[in-house]
Structure 1
Amino acid sequence: MKKRNILSILSLSAFLLMAGGCKKFLDINKDPNNAVDVPVNVLLPSAQTGLTYAVGNTLTINGGIWAQYWTQDPSSSQYKQLDQYSPAQGDFDNVWLNIEIDALENLQKIVDKGNATKKKEYVAIATILKVYAYQLSTDLWGDVPFSQTLQGDAATPIFNPKYDTQSDIYAGLVKMIDTARNLIDVNDPNTPGADDLIYGGDMSKWLRFANTLKLKIGLRLAKKDANRAAAIVQSLQGAAFIKPGESALQNFNATGGQQNPLFSAIAGPVLNTTQNLVASSTAFNYFNNNNDNRLFAFYGPAVNGGFASIPQGSFGNPPTTIVSPPTPATGANAKDPQSAFAPVKLMTDYETDFLQAEAVLRGWLPGRADTFYVNGITHNYAAYKVDGLADYLAQDQIKYPTAGTQAQQLEAIITQKWAAMCGNQTIEAWTEWRRTGFPSFFVVSQASIIGANRFPEIFLYPNSEMTRNPNAPKQNHFIYDKVWWAQ
């Protein structure tokens, strides 16, 4: 990722277009395009919106299809390449730049300005979100620039940073998150307010977010290096994690330019409310076969008023095929304006429960894995106001497999995490499948052109990086290559 000596016009534009109540943050008597003059209370919502835009648009689409919640509607064609497992390099340019410029560069400016003006809570928040963005980046692309990014100055800028190994990046993330945790002072009066679009400046919540993020970092390494993973997770004993009802998310509204970023794209002038994303039978059948009322929270009625799905990648079916679209709660229903209100979720209370369930299962944190397992399902039902929880939990196939092997218990935890993330944390669900192999019932897309029994496992490096940074890998990945922690 390259160092640029400008405040990203893209990020300010994203904030102007998307963040609610932005007028007061930009009410300054200086050139808003001059990076030196932009205060931290303007940079923070801009950086947060840049990050949520990346997560809520491109990554939600990719994750939604590759985690087999959605597939391409036979009556349209926008995402056929994703179902074919054959995206082009250029398809990853925008999301790379969203993370690099709109998020990371502005987060680093907050760190620099916050340190200079003794606003350490801004520094803490920005550092936490840098960790989130860097982990997201390395989990998607593998080796990426890290140690030399956001470095240098006007005299000696680093335009072509080296690529660091994923192992080294993870070591750096642990140090960075600990730095942020130590900066947090819940009694500091110099905290953000409404300019913090995620937690409104509540530093207790940010501390719990940071602890939960570190827990996720540790568990990501469980397959590759169990001892290293255990040490990271065990360092959190006694720490507080995200509580029920305090998921880290950004809300949106119906005002033009302030809508959910996925809905804004699919309902905008380019796609013109064409419904490309529809129910994949993989997820749809899971909910239906297990008497799970979340089916109706995540999928809406088809044009005939019924509910239906199609197998992954079966867009070759007749255009008249009847299939359910996602509900507005996911932001992915192009024809329902209520999609504009769907929040973009970075980390949720139910994800937190499932993380703790796994940590306890592995013996790295105290507690009861079965309790956290039930809590995760419960909090997901609550988030989407779904009834029938008791009946769902009472089913033998849903009960926590107390008498099962550790592998069976892990499968239950991750499968329920996947179900909970339908349409709302899709890229995380795909990443957890890459890490664990669960759910175990994914099917190869009928449209795949990459060979039998292969799935997408990694993002391609974008054209913008491969052509401009001489330190980028000389050859790109294959889409079915695995990242380091999944090998």
Structure 2
Amino acid sequence: MKKIQILIGVLFLSLVSCEITDENIDQNNPNGASVNAGAVYPGMIAQTHRNMVAINARIAGIVAQQYEGLDAQQIAYDQYNIGEDDTDDYWDAALYGTGAMPDCYGIFTSNTEEVGALAKLYMAANLGLATTMWGDVPYDNAFIGDQGNFNPTFDSQEDVYATIQRLLDESIAGGVSSGIGEFYGVGSGGADWEKTARALKARYYIHLTSVDNTAAASALAQAQLALSSTSEQADFVYSSPAANSNPLFLFDNDRPGTLGVSPQLTSLMTGDPRLPVYTNVDGDFAGAGLFWGQADSPTPLISYWEVKFIEAEAIVRTSGTDADALAALQAAVEANMLYVGVSQTDADTYTAALTLSGSMDDKIETIVTEKYKSSYGNAPIEAWTDFRRTKFPALTPNPSAVGGVNPSRIIPRRFLYPISERLTNGTNYNAAISAQGGHLLDNDMWAFPTN
């Protein structure tokens, strides 16, 4: 696998910034007219990959029943008691505010060609996280605080998905495949960034199968141009010191015994050769020998196996052959198994037993359920998203759910906007709530209507 190992040292930053651009940066105005991408990229990339598995992503994993809350706030999340305070840090420090998206914006508005193109790719990935959690979110005028606008409006979710696709198209057109990854320790050739951009396009097309009859065909076209092996995916591998470790490892280290692997996932994976490297008999997710819970466990921006799952689903939805869909499904499962350390023999045995039969929904259930198993530890937000749009895998709401911000006590459909927006951007916050029909965890989003 290709690994992005971000070394945030003075010498590294000096070397990188000279190679990427000769422009200077005003350190007191990082989102201003002139941004040295070399100084900004390492932190932005590191934060983006953390966003895939930390804070809100961890809550999404609880909601999607990949994790189980055992103590403290995690029990509340397991009971769907997820308030506006619980999502605030992710909004302000991971995405907006001091998060990754202002850095992306600063880079691509000050740098052209492949330097700016990679920032557009990362902006699209972060914007996708934001809209799948909250629906309508700020974008068009969200990053111009230097121009005096500190109260951005919220773009509709439909417009946000269109923006994601436009950013990825511009990233590809801007030459994102032109070796830019070499600046970040990816190595000669590195991750294939154009294929990564197409993988993200496939992801954000397949999200829209409930509201766009062309979404599956668009996803299929992009998936077939996207990643062709795990060696092409952009993997961020965390490094010492401890503060730079994988967020799941850090959470277990800081708050031991408060989070475990869900019994629902364990039951679903009975006999699956990945289970021993996902969890142990105590239900831990970060113990010795557990693949996704180590200090240096990688976080893909998007994985090859996700691409193959998207391809399999899209083939089924576009009336392709069962044989082609099954081949894509088997490739997806095998890639994930080999990546986490399952032997080739065990992977072959498992994938040979996979079948696709019955109705379209039956086939999609098989595909999405296998995707759910493979997203554990690396893409919990996608597991939650797939459940909201397909109802698969078949999850039962927590019988201990509370009804405060989720009156129907269903598996949540969204997160509440954070308290910081209510207190500092109230007019636009209220407009977004009104446009979406409410502000509860059981309110649908435009992209994921209850069918």
Which interval holds the TM-score relative to the shorter structure?
A: 0.7 to 0.9
Listed one character per residue, the Cα deviations across residues 76-130 of structure 1 (whole Å, up to 9, x for unaligned) are 3241110110112011111012111321100111112213xxxx11111100111
Name the structure where helix makes up a greater proportion of residues: 2
The residue type paired with residue 94 of structure 1 is D
Aligned partner of 2:159 among 168, 175, 190? 168
Q: CA deviation at 1:64?
A: 2.1
Partner of 1:455: helix, strand, or coil? coil
Matched residues in 2 for 1:162 and 1:264: separation? 35
Whether 2:379 is the aligned partner of 1:425: answer yes
The residue type paired with residue 60 of structure 1 is A
Matched residues in 2 for 1:237 and 1:108: separation? 26
Question: Which residue pairs with 2:95 in the alignment?
Answer: 99
Contact 2:227 2:233 in 1 (8 A): no
Matched residues in 2 for 1:91 and 1:230: separation? 34
In structure 2, stretches of 5+ residues that fail to align are 18-23
Listed one character per residue, the Cα deviations across residues 215-244 of structure 1 (whole Å, up to 9, x for unaligned) are 1111111111213x1563366486343533
Contact 1:329 1:342 in 2 (8 A): no
The residue type paired with residue 485 of structure 1 is A
Whether 2:368 is the aligned partner of 1:414: answer yes
Identity across the alignment (%): 25
Question: Which residue pairs with 1:129 in the alignment?
Answer: 122
Contact 1:297 1:329 in 2 (8 A): yes
Whether 2:339 is the aligned partner of 1:383: answer yes
What is the TM-score normalised by the length of structure 2?
Answer: 0.85
Q: CA deviation at 1:158?
A: 2.2
Q: 1:31 to 1:233 in 2, by over 3 A?
A: closer
Question: Which residue pairs with 1:54 in the alignment?
Answer: 51
Matched residues in 2 for 1:20 and 1:466: separation? 37
Contact 1:234 1:365 in 2 (8 A): no
Partner of 2:68: helix, strand, or coil? strand
Partner of 2:235: helix, strand, or coil? strand
Listed one character per residue, the Cα deviations across residues 187-207 of structure 1 (whole Å, up to 9, x for unaligned) are x57x35343x6x458577000
Partner of 1:278: helix, strand, or coil? strand
Listed one character per residue, the Cα deviations across residues 299-331 of structure 1 (whole Å, up to 9, x for unaligned) are 0232xxxxxxxxxxxxxxxxxxxx544546768
Matched residues in 2 for 1:482 and 1:472: separation? 17
Listed one character per residue, the Cα deviations across residues 281-311 of structure 1 (whole Å, up to 9, x for unaligned) are 11101111xx112110100232xxxxxxxxx
Question: Which residue pairs with 2:230 in the alignment?
Answer: 244
Q: CA deviation at 1:363?
A: 2.2
Partner of 2:141: helix, strand, or coil? coil
Q: 1:47 to 1:242 in 2, by over 3 A?
A: farther
Contact 2:176 2:193 in 1 (8 A): no
Q: 1:324 to 1:102 in 2, by over 3 A?
A: closer
Contact 1:19 1:258 in 2 (8 A): no
RMSD: 2.8
Partner of 2:116: helix, strand, or coil? helix
Partner of 1:105: helix, strand, or coil? helix
Aligned partner of 1:464 among 420, 425, 438? 420
Aligned partner of 1:448 among 401, 406, 414? 401
Aligned partner of 1:88 among 83, 86, 94? 83
Q: 1:329 to 1:352 in 2, by over 3 A?
A: farther
Matched residues in 2 for 1:423 and 1:284: separation? 13
Matched residues in 2 for 1:237 and 1:95: separation? 29
What is the TM-score normalised by the length of structure 1?
Answer: 0.79
Contact 1:145 1:162 in 2 (8 A): yes
Aligned partner of 1:299 among 275, 279, 288? 279
Contact 1:248 1:345 in 2 (8 A): yes
Contact 1:358 1:410 in 2 (8 A): yes
Question: Which residue pairs with 2:42 in the alignment?
Answer: 45
Q: 1:364 to 1:161 in 2, by over 3 A?
A: farther
Question: Which residue pairs with 2:207 in the alignment?
Answer: 220
Matched residues in 2 for 1:145 and 1:282: separation? 35
Aligned partner of 2:134 among 126, 133, 141? 141
Question: Which residue pairs with 1:275 in the alignment?
Answer: 257
The residue type paired with residue 174 of structure 1 is Q
Matched residues in 1 for 2:290 and 2:430: separation? 36
Whether 2:434 is the aligned partner of 1:479: answer no
Question: Which residue pairs with 1:437 in the alignment?
Answer: 391
4+ long deviations beyond 6 Å? 28-31, 329-332, 364-367
Question: Which residue pairs with 1:313 in the alignment?
Answer: none
Aligned partner of 1:181 among 172, 177, 191? 172
Q: 1:467 to 1:381 in 2, by over 3 A?
A: same
Listed one character per residue, the Cα deviations across residues 22-58 of structure 1 (whole Å, up to 9, x for unaligned) are 3323448988555367521121111111212222211
Matched residues in 1 for 2:352 and 2:251: separation? 40
Matched residues in 1 for 2:286 and 2:224: separation? 39
Listed one character per residue, the Cα deviations across residues 383-427 of structure 1 (whole Å, up to 9, x for unaligned) are 1111322332344xxx222x4211111111100000111222111
Partner of 1:134: helix, strand, or coil? helix
Matched residues in 1 for 2:26 and 2:193: separation? 31
Q: 1:127 to 1:50 in 2, by over 3 A?
A: same
Matched residues in 2 for 1:61 and 1:178: separation? 30
The residue type paired with residue 357 of structure 1 is A
Aligned partner of 2:218 among 232, 236, 244? 232
The residue type paired with residue 170 of structure 1 is Y
Listed one character per residue, the Cα deviations across residues 331-350 of structure 1 (whole Å, up to 9, x for unaligned) are 875xxxxx211122321111
Q: CA deviation at 1:141?
A: 0.1
Matched residues in 2 for 1:483 and 1:330: separation? 35
In structure 1, stretches of 5+ residues that fail to align are 1-17, 303-322, 334-338
The residue type paired with residue 384 of structure 2 is W
Question: Which residue pairs with 1:393 in the alignment?
Answer: 351
Question: Which residue pairs with 2:182 in the alignment?
Answer: 193
Contact 1:55 1:344 in 2 (8 A): yes
Contact 1:351 1:376 in 2 (8 A): yes
Matched residues in 2 for 1:329 and 1:78: separation? 27
Question: Which residue pairs with 1:258 in the alignment?
Answer: 244
Matched residues in 2 for 1:126 and 1:455: separation? 34
Aligned partner of 2:295 among 331, 340, 347? 340
